[in-house]
Structure 1
Amino acid sequence: MCLSLESHVYFAVDTISTNQSLSGNQTIVSAGGVFRLGFFRPGNSSNYYIGMWFNKVPQLTTVWVANRDTPVRDIYSSVLIISDGNLVLFNESQVPVWSTNVSSSSDISSSVVAVLLDDGNLVLRDGPNSSTILWQSFDHPTDTWLPGSKLRFDKRTNRSQPLISWKSPDDPAPGLFTFEIDPAVTNQVSIVWNKSQLYWFSGTWDQRTMSFSLVRK
């Protein structure tokens, strides 16, 4: 996948707080310099997205995209900020197009910070020195499974937390393939094509290995 790599202004911090914002070519970098977060433009697209990519890989290689369904066109008048206790992306018309959607009290909202960690997890905390996580990108993956993140299936809501392919190299919107824990057999994973057709599934997981693997086309 070929993605455009443009000049970026790197903050020497890994945090967005209530008095900071990201716009234009500004980015934040995780404390150990592993990941960057900011606006990027995929391939030949004229659209921009808030995403996370490897900091030390020369070719822009994204691992997470926030607004994959709702791109912006002008990154200099679009802004990513902390607003009412949430991380919110406003487009060039100052319309919110993506948010973490955390319900928080007024006393917490004034102290919320977003921190980019070295494992590739973007977290919202209720204060710069707090270990309490209000939201994390590991719970909202796009197409990349990072070490430390998990695939889940919630039996209470009957919903999975899948990986979903990009629509194309120029468009990170959800594509045709989904990688998820099989809702019918929760100790195996499957790839589903076009939301309905089973394309591939693993063998059952016995806590150590997969017993077999099958491919269906």
Structure 2
Amino acid sequence: MDTKSNPKFVFNILLLCLFLKSHSHISLAADTISADKSLSGDQTIISAGGVFELGFFKPGIFSNYYYIGMWYKKVSVKTIVWVANRETPVSDIFTSVLRISDGNLILFSESNTPVWSTNLTSTTTSGSVQAVLLDSGNLVLRADGSSTNTSEPLWQSFDHPAHTWIPGGKLGFNIATNRTQILTSWKSSEDPAPGLFSLELDPNGSSAYLILWNTSRVYWSSGAWDANSRIFSAVP
């Protein structure tokens, strides 16, 4: 068959190309956002071992808003494990951009307004900072050229958990950052803003984990930690 003179064949090829383009994400083929490499639109970054992916996503079916989130790369159903701008979504991912600016990782909206930031006050210049997505699911901001294994990050998402506790993550009180690390549910499947339920370490020092309703009422308690039996007293 002479494909060059077969208009039906050529038309079908064009339709296939358009379908693939509309159903695919564009990966930056890297795990890093640097001073000269931002993230926008359908672009994503993928951890070195292909475990996690980070980019824009739209929750649910009816939402018109987009968020920067992290999900398992190899799970067929997109499972979001971390969201950056939970309370400040954007409307257009092609004019919004996640980039390094003023020594921070910052999400700028379609109006070029910063809506989320790692919020560091250090004097590190933008050219010497990069954000790296690790196979552990930790997004770290570090000085360019430093080792992710040996250097303490300038900022890391493990210190700012959202709604999912993944291996390696921490829940408790971070003395270095003076910040309590808690998990907070989504408002709904269409809205990842903080909901009514949260999981945190008992601030009164009982070493129990508590699920709170509306940040105040204890909904569930693990009971205190029994070091001898290596269990929480209220957990079967």
TM-score, normalization by structure 1:
0.90
Identity %: 62
- Structure 1 gaps of 5+ residues are 1-5
Displacement after TM superposition at 1:159 (Å): 5.5
| Mapping 1:42-191, distance limit 5 Å | 42-44=59-61, 45-106=63-124, 108-130=125-147, 131-153=151-173, 160-191=180-211
The C-alpha deviation readout for 1:14-62, integer Å capped at 9, x for no partner, is 0000001000000000000000000000002110000000000111100
Pairing 1:206–2:223 present:
no
- State how far apart, in whole Å, the 2-side matches of 1:158 and 1:31 are: 31
Instruction: Specify the SS of the correspondent of 1:59.
Output: coil
Which residue pairs with 1:3 in the alignment? none
Letter of the 1:209 counterpart: I
- In 1, the alpha carbon distance for the partners of 2:97 and 2:177 equals 33
Q: CA deviation at 1:161?
A: 1.2
Shift of 1:209: 1.3
CA distance in 1, matches of 2:156, 2:178: 21
* Deviation, structure 1 residue 157: 9.2
Q: Does 1:27 find its partner at 2:44? A: yes
Number of residue pairs matched by the alignment:
208
Q: Distance in 2 between matches of 1:155 and 1:136?
A: 15
Bigger strand share = 1
In our comparison, the structure showing a higher alpha carbon Rg is 2
Structure 1, 202-211 or 189-198: larger mean CA deviation: 202-211
- Alpha-carbon distance in structure 2 between the residues aligned to 1:61 and 1:155: 31
Query: Matches of 1:197 and 1:129 in 2, distance apart?
Result: 44
Deviation at 1:113, TM superposition (A): 0.4
Q: CA contact under 8 A between 1:13 and 1:31: conserved in structure 2? A: yes
Contact 2:28/2:44 (8 A) holds in 1? yes
Match of 2:56 in 1: 39
Structure number with higher helix proportion: 2
In 2, are the aligned partners of 1:160 and 1:183 still within 8 Å (CA)? no
> Where do 4+ consecutive residues of structure 1 move more than 2 Å?
128-132, 153-160
| Alignment CA distance shift 1:156-1:105 (3 Å) | closer
Bigger relative contact order (CA 8 A; separation at least 6) = 1
Within 1, Cα distance between the matches of 2:182 and 2:37? 32
- In the alignment, the residues of structure 1 paired with residue 85 and residue 143 of structure 2 have an alpha-carbon distance, to the nearest angstrom, of 23
Unaligned runs of 5+ in 2: 1-22
3-state secondary structure, aligned to 2:211: strand
Between the aligned partners of 2:164 and 2:93, the Cα distance in structure 1 is 24
C-alpha RMSD over aligned residues: 1.9
Deviations 1:95-154 (A, max 9, x none): 000000112224x44210000000000000011334231000000000000101110125
In 2: Cα distance, 1:158 partner to 1:110 partner: 28
User: Using the alignment, how far apart are the partners of 1:27 and 1:13 within structure 2?
Assistant: 9
Counterpart-to-counterpart distance in 2, 1:89 and 1:31: 23
